[in-house]
């Protein structure tokens, strides 16, 4: 019953079904998990003779009169009188003629709304009504749902109420608890069924809070348990060969480190120790390395590749785009120039059939993420590094296993992720963080530019370009909230490009790059920019981050208010990569107080993690990653800022795993399976 399709709901039109499906509601279960965004309190039921102006109340009585009226400015009204034995109150709706047929005199009606007074006459401004006694739309705390695709709260309420009633008849559903008794007791959780009942139709505020607690616990617990189970599965797997980092290898590693053109930062050192420790175990590494742009993740990954090489194994390094793969290839070639380590580059244009012959004698092969889905067969892959991809999860690992390899895997990202988010969404991975920048790196100077100073800003940039020979990024505003870049933003960026070229910087060379270009074309423009064929690159925000153009020291971000702070930080990360001072200018098209407070915080904060944490508090996680990064879902009812509940559910999941077998808890098992399917479909 809980998995019944919504098509089996009575009295539900095809259009409604279609709309529900479009917002992801396919089954009764989905419906129950469509939670209210807020509640209205209509629980005060008042006799008509006790009404007080300004109160929000529910009145229940009989319709005595109904008529059609037109206001002075021509709006059509439906006016009624409602009588309850203590008095009469007037009700008026606008433009809802069908109410005249619905509320015939004598109809028993409950209405919730705001009491108004004209002279000594009371009227009620109706917010909700229902025929009969108060039950689900009036006379209590009433749920208000996110009203998408023209689906009204009233309709959603009706359907959910129906489903909850069905559950009541069907005792087995939600009747068997998900958890062992002591997990419920220890975490002071109410039972699941009352939780669902009260999240939609709360008896009172206390019951509502308890329901929220229970459901938030469930949500996080399922995530944590899923991770814990994956972790456990991985723990029993073994790699082909355990790397040795002792004796002669230790000596070689040290020599390599000593010959680097720089000294490792303490943070790099610490992370390298963590990675090295993993690499010398038989259990495959599943580590997630987080570090600001420019914090030096590549060299740490290179050390891992070197250790693999010393042990006779090959490494794969994968980047999201071809141009980044080339960049890595160059960096590694440099790092290993005095060593016998052979490095190969696998680009999209090369034939797959040549892959083996070209790369089988390489110790490190660099390519794009597509490498993973290729039918490659290298001799001995021992270590895989994946740059800038968050979700290298269960599905990808399984794919590798199908190919018969079970390597150590290191994923890396420059995306700032708040600690609580990492603990929740990457719970199955071990986390390493590089949290300091190499010394001597100059932080980017960031300014919020008022409208009046735009022109002066352009002139300043012009001088910098002419006098210092530096380059500039101009990032055009983020337009659609949709996932893919729309034609609209391409049009906008093209227009801005034409404008800048003709009117603002006519004597300079401008390039244009946006998401609708083919990836070859994009790479060409980026490469030309790198080769200084352009002074200024006009770009849309979705264009790949990570590209290294040390000579680009200036960035303008248009419409800065539209971004989350973490997103802004990622954009800013494209400059400040050389030893020259870099400058970032924020232009806004809307600068109310909140916007400028937020952006001012950005101008004085250079740490991505702090910015991400601020975002999480101000805008919620959906906003942090927004268009820039996919694969992050928002929580439905729990919160990423709730560190204590995240910790609590994590230890509850540990406890469960250590004391119980999932098979004994079919409800929970089903929930986990569902979660895994969601995860994989997101990958
Ligand atoms: P990211 O973490 O963004 O991938 P990279 O690994 O590309 O950063 O490193 C950025 C730059 O910093 C490179 O030019 C690299 O050679 C340099 N670098 C890395 N580690 C150090 C260090 N400890 N001291 C100085 N420069 C370093
Ligand atoms: Mg990098």
- Cα 85 to middle of ligand 2, angstroms: 76
Residue 671 located in a structural domain: no
**pLDDT in the model for residue 383:** 94
Ligand nearest to the CA of 290: 1
How many domains, the chain?
3
- Cα 389 to middle of ligand 1, angstroms: 19
CB contact set of 246 (below 8 Å; sequence gap of 6+): none
What percent of the chain shows pLDDT beyond 90?
58
Ligand nearest to the CA of 438: 1
- Cα 262 to middle of ligand 1, angstroms: 9
Residue 634 located in a structural domain: no
| 253 and 367 co-located in one domain | yes
| 367 and 465 co-located in one domain | no
Which of 350, 341, 349, 334 has its CA nearest to residue 298?
Answer: 334
Nearest atom within ligand 1 for CA of residue 297: 2
- Domain range spanning residue 619? 445-629
**pLDDT in the model for residue 175:** 58
Nearest atom within ligand 1 for CA of residue 298: 6
- Cα 304 to middle of ligand 2, angstroms: 15
| 296 and 426 co-located in one domain | yes
Nearest atom within ligand 1 for CA of residue 265: 23
Ligand nearest to the CA of 319: 2
Is the predicted pLDDT of residue 626 greater than 60, yes or no? no
**pLDDT in the model for residue 627:** 39
**Which residue minimizes the CA distance to atom 18 of ligand 1?**
296
- Cα 438 to middle of ligand 1, angstroms: 7
Please tell me the distance from the alpha carbon of residue 552 to that of residue 472, in angstroms, as a whole number: 5
Alpha-carbon dihedral sign for residues 282, 286, 290, 294: positive
**pLDDT in the model for residue 483:** 42
**pLDDT in the model for residue 632:** 57
Residue 124 located in a structural domain: yes
**pLDDT in the model for residue 584:** 97
- Arithmetic mean of pLDDT, 86-111: 94
- Cα 582 to middle of ligand 2, angstroms: 19
- Cα 242 to middle of ligand 1, angstroms: 29
- Cα 387 to middle of ligand 2, angstroms: 7
* DSSP category for residue 283: S
| 497 and 426 co-located in one domain | no
CB contact set of 227 (below 8 Å; sequence gap of 6+): 426, 427, 428, 653
Token code pair at residue 84:
């309850």
Nearest atom within ligand 1 for CA of residue 327: 7
**pLDDT in the model for residue 486:** 55
Higher pLDDT, 138 or 440: 138
Residue 260 located in a structural domain: yes
- 478: three-class secondary structure by DSSP: coil
Decide which of 370, 401, 434 is a domain's last residue. Answer: 434
Nearest atom within ligand 1 for CA of residue 335: 16
Give the domain CATH number at 310.
Answer: 3.40.50.300
Ligand nearest to the CA of 574: 1
Ligand nearest to the CA of 548: 1
Residue of 294, 295, 577 with the most ligand 1 atoms within 8 Å of its CB, for mutation: 294
**pLDDT in the model for residue 230:** 87
**Average pLDDT of the chain, as a whole number:** 87
Is the predicted pLDDT of residue 666 greater than 70, yes or no? yes
Ligand nearest to the CA of 386: 2
Residue 201 located in a structural domain: no
Residue bearing tokens 């909140």: 594
Give the domain CATH number at 105.
Answer: 2.40.50.140
**pLDDT in the model for residue 274:** 97
pLDDT digits (tens, 9 = 90+) for 398-424: 777 777 778 899 999 888 888 888 888
Token code pair at residue 382:
């021992």
- Map 494-547 to HEC letters: HHHHHHHHHHHCCCCCEEEECCCCCHHHHHHHHHHHHCCCCCEEEECCCCCCCC
Residue 33 located in a structural domain: no
| 74 and 122 co-located in one domain | yes
- Cα 651 to middle of ligand 2, angstroms: 34
pLDDT digits (tens, 9 = 90+) for 517-544: 887 888 899 889 999 999 999 998 766 5
**Tally of CB atoms within 10 A around 449:** 16
Q: From residue 411, how far is each of 225, 232, 301, 430, 477 by CA, in Å?
A: 22, 19, 10, 10, 30
- Arithmetic mean of pLDDT, 80-85: 95
Is the predicted pLDDT of residue 586 greater than 60, yes or no? yes
Among the ranges given (318-322, 495-499, 546-550), the one the predictor scored with the smallest mean pLDDT: 546-550
Residue 164 located in a structural domain: no
Residue of 261, 271, 296 with the most ligand 1 atoms within 8 Å of its CB, for mutation: 296
Decide which of 113, 144, 175 is a domain's last residue. Answer: 144
Q: Supply φ then ψ for residue 108, to 5 degrees.
A: -80, 125
Q: From residue 361, how far is each of 333, 342, 531 by CA, in Å?
A: 15, 8, 32
Among the ranges given (67-81, 118-132, 234-248, 491-505), the one the predictor scored with the smallest mean pLDDT: 234-248
Nearest atom within ligand 1 for CA of residue 264: 23
Ligand nearest to the CA of 387: 2
- Cα 621 to middle of ligand 1, angstroms: 29
Whole-model pTM: value is: 0.77
- Cα 294 to middle of ligand 2, angstroms: 7
**Which residue minimizes the CA distance to atom 16 of ligand 1?**
296
Q: From residue 545, how far is each of 308, 393, 433, 616 by CA, in Å?
A: 29, 22, 20, 22
Ligand 1 contacts (CB < 6 A) are 262-265, 268, 291, 293-299, 414, 438
Higher pLDDT, 608 or 141: 141
Per-residue pLDDT band at 628 (split at 50, 70, 90): very low
**Which residue minimizes the CA distance to atom 5 of ligand 1?**
296
Contact 427, 224 (CB under 8 A): yes
Residue 166 located in a structural domain: no
Is the predicted pLDDT of residue 60 greater than 60, yes or no? yes
- Cα 268 to middle of ligand 1, angstroms: 10
| 453 and 421 co-located in one domain | no
- Cα 520 to middle of ligand 1, angstroms: 27
Ordered DSSP codes for 305-361: HHHHHHTT-EEEEEESSHHHHHHHHHHHHHHTTTSS--EEE--TTS-GGGHHHHHTT
Nearest atom within ligand 1 for CA of residue 546: 3
| 78 and 105 co-located in one domain | yes
Per-residue pLDDT band at 493 (split at 50, 70, 90): confident
| 137 and 110 co-located in one domain | yes
Decide which of 434, 465, 494 is a domain's last residue. Answer: 434
| 477 and 613 co-located in one domain | yes
Which of 426, 428, 408 has its CA nearest to residue 417?
Answer: 426
**Which residue minimizes the CA distance to atom 24 of ligand 1?**
438
| 355 and 416 co-located in one domain | yes
- Arithmetic mean of pLDDT, 23-34: 93
| 425 and 520 co-located in one domain | no
Is the predicted pLDDT of residue 220 greater than 60, yes or no? yes
Q: Which of 456-460, 493-497, 548-552, 578-582 has the highest mean pLDDT?
A: 456-460
Per-residue pLDDT band at 188 (split at 50, 70, 90): very high
**Which residue minimizes the CA distance to atom 20 of ligand 1?**
296
| 393 and 462 co-located in one domain | no
């Amino acid at each position: 019953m809980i998995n019944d399709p919504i098509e089996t709901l009575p009295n539900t039109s095809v259009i409604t079904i279609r709309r529900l499906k479009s917002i992801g509601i396919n089954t009764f279960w989905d419906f129950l998990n469509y939670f209210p965004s807020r509640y209205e309190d209509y629980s005060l039921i008042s006799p008509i003779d006790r009404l007080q102006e300004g109160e929000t109340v529910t009145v229940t009585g009989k319709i005595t009169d109904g008529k059609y009226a037109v206001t002075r400015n021509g709006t059509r009204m439906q006016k009624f009188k409602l009588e309850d034995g203590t008095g009469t109150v007037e009700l008026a709706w606008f433009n809802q003629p069908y109410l005249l047929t619905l509320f015939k005199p004598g109809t028993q009606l409950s209405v919730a709304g705001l009491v108004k007074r004209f002279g000594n006459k009371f009227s009620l401004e109706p917010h909700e009504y229902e025929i009969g006694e108060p039950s689900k739309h009036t006379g209590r705390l009433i749920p208000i749902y996110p009203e998408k695709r023209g689906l009204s709260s009233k309709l959603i309420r009706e359907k959910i109420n129906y489903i909850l009633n069905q559950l009541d008849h069907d005792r087995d559903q939600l009747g068997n608890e998900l958890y062992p008794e002591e997990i419920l007791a220890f975490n002071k959780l109410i039972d699941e069924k009352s939780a669902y009942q009260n999240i939609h139709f709360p008896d009172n505020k206390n019951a509502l809070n308890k329901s929220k607690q229970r459901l938030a616990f469930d949500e996080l617990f399922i995530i944590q348990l899923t991770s814990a189970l994956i972790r456990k599965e991985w723990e029993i797997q073994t790699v082909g060969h355990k790397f040795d980092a002792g004796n002669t290898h230790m000596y070689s590693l040290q020599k390599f480190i000593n010959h680097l053109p720089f000294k490792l930062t303490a943070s790099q050192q610490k992370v390298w120790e963590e990675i090295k420790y993993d690499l010398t175990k038989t259990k495959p590494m599943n580590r997630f390395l987080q570090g600001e742009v420019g914090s030096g993740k590549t060299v740490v990954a290179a050390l891992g590749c070197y250790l693999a090489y010393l042990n006779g194994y090959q490494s794969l390094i994968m980047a999201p785009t071809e141009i980044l793969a080339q960049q890595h290839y160059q960096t590694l070639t440099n790092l290993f120039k005095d060593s016998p380590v052979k490095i190969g580059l696998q680009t999209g244009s090369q034939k797959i059939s040549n892959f083996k012959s070209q790369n089988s004698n390489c110790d490190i092969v660099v390519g794009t993420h597509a490498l993973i889905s290729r039918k490659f067969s290298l001799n001995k892959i021992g270590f895989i590094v994946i740059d800038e991809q968050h979700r290298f999860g269960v599905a990808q690992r399984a794919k590798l296993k199908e190919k018969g390899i079970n390597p150590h895997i290191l994923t890396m990202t420059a995306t700032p992720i708040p600690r609580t988010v990492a603990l929740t969404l990457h719970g199955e991975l071990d986390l390493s963080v590089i949290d300091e920048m190499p010394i001597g790196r100059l932080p980017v100077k960031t300014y919020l530019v008022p409208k009046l100073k735009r022109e002066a800003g352009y002139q300043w940039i012009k001088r910098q370009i002419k006098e210092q020979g530096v380059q500039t990024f101009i990032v055009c505003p983020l337009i659609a909230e949709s996932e893919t870049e729309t034609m609209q933003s391409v049009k906008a960026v093209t227009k801005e490009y034409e404008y800048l070229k003709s009117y603002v910087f006519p004597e300079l060379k401008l390039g244009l790059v946006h998401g609708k270009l083919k990836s070859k074309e994009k790479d060409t423009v980026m490469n030309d920019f790198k080769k200084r064929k352009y002074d200024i690159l006009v770009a849309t925000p979705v264009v790949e981050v990570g590209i290294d153009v040390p000579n680009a020291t200036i960035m303008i971000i248009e419409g800065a208010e539209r971004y989350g702070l973490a997103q802004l930080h990622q954009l800013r990360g494209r400059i400040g990569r050389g030893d020259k001072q870099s400058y970032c200018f924020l232009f806004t098209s809307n600068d109310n107080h909140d916007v400028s407070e937020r952006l001012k915080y950005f101008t004085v904060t250079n740490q991505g993690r702090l910015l991400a944490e601020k975002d999480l508090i101000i805008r919620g996680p959906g906003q942090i990653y927004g268009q820039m990064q996919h694969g992050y879902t928002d929580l439905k009812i729990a919160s990423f800022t709730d560190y204590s509940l995240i910790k609590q559910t994590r230890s509850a999941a540990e406890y469960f795993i250590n004391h119980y077998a999932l098979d004994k808890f079919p409800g929970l098992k089903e929930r986990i399976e569902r979660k895994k399917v969601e995860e994989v479909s997101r990958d």
